Amino acid sequence: MTRQRSILSHLYLVVFLIYLMLPLLIMAGAAFNDSKLPTVTPWKGFTWRWFEALFADERMWNAFANSLIVAVAVAALAVPIGTAAAIVINSVSGRVRATLYGFMVAPILAPGLVIGISTVLFWNSMGDAIGLRGVGPFSPGLHLSVLGQVSFIAAYVMLLVLARIQSFDPALEEAALDLGASHGQVLRRVLLPHLYPAIGAGAAIAFFQSIENFNVTLFTRGTQDTLTVYVFSQVRAGITPTINALALMLMLFTVVCALIYEVRRRRTAALQQAREDEARRAEEAML
């Protein structure tokens, strides 16, 4: 690569990063503008009042709590389902495997609104079939949001666990069985410990995917709000910069999480490096 092109590509990276960040910074800036509309121009002076308004906004807190409840429920369902599915699909082969795999990854590709609508219709007609139309569990509500979200989030967990299970040596289970371990022990003490990193990542992805989710939730939620739906309805209904205050807090939370992750990653990498150096020195000393 010539010098000129390399400078150009560095420049492109910088421009791209600015393009990604600038809108978010403008949105954050508007949280401090003393103007009734969310904007940075004209600047009417610095204020904290939108943060005060945010903390007084009960609907927002209610929506926030709903988002958390749904996300925990989704993770609690999607992780066991996804893990079980990965174990099942790993034990079959050939055409059965291809068909199962197709059905399992299809929900990832299906549009959110189709998942949402089909979930509502299915449970509603189930209710019809047993004569309980519109009663509790069969009418739209957050529980249907959970089921709708699980239908595709379980697929993410399945893919993660399946990738991890490939590197598992089945002979370990044989050994455990030969040595008299019970079936439960084989699962709990041999297979699951190997899968924990993937299960942990799956749980995190399930949680955050659920918090993020808009399309499925919008169609299944009934009259309840989650945070993304609340933000949406506020944006549509004409808004005050309270939303900007909320956005800024969420972004700060994200950045802090990202930084903690990065610092931990670097520390582990450094530790790993130190151990390898140590091992090499020990090896050299022995020779």
Indicate the residue among 72 and 232 with the shorter CB distance to another protein: 232
For 23-57, letters b (16+ CB in 10 Å) and e give eeeebbbbbbbebeebebeeeeeeeeebbeebeeb
Indicate the residue among 56 and 252 with the shorter CB distance to another protein: 252
Q: Residue 102 half-sphere exposure, CB side, CA atoms within 13 Å?
A: 6
Q: What is the DSSP string of 66-95?
A: HHHHHHHHHHHHHHHHHHHHHHHHHT--HH
| Closest distance to another protein from the beta carbon of 280 (Å) | 21
Indicate the residue among 183 and 281 with the shorter CB distance to another protein: 183
| Closest distance to another protein from the beta carbon of 134 (Å) | 9
CA dist., res. 38 & res. 173, Å (int):
60
| Closest distance to another protein from the beta carbon of 145 (Å) | 12
| Contacts of 213 by beta carbon, 8 Å cutoff, 6+ apart | 112, 145, 149, 226, 228
| Closest distance to another protein from the beta carbon of 218 (Å) | 7
CA dist., res. 111 & res. 117, Å (int):
10
| Closest distance to another protein from the beta carbon of 105 (Å) | 4
Indicate the residue among 48 and 112 with the shorter CB distance to another protein: 112
| Closest distance to another protein from the beta carbon of 285 (Å) | 30
Indicate the residue among 222 and 281 with the shorter CB distance to another protein: 222
Residues 51, 53, 56, 62, CA torsion sign: negative
Indicate the residue among 49 and 133 with the shorter CB distance to another protein: 133
Query: Please, are residues 217 and 145 in contact by the beta-carbon 8 Å criterion?
Result: yes
Which residue, chain included where needed, has tokens 């582990």? 268
Query: Please, are residues 139 and 110 in contact by the beta-carbon 8 Å criterion?
Result: no
CA dist., res. 210 & res. 228, Å (int):
10
Which residue, chain included where needed, has tokens 């549509």? 236
| Closest distance to another protein from the beta carbon of 58 (Å) | 20
Indicate the residue among 25 and 279 with the shorter CB distance to another protein: 25
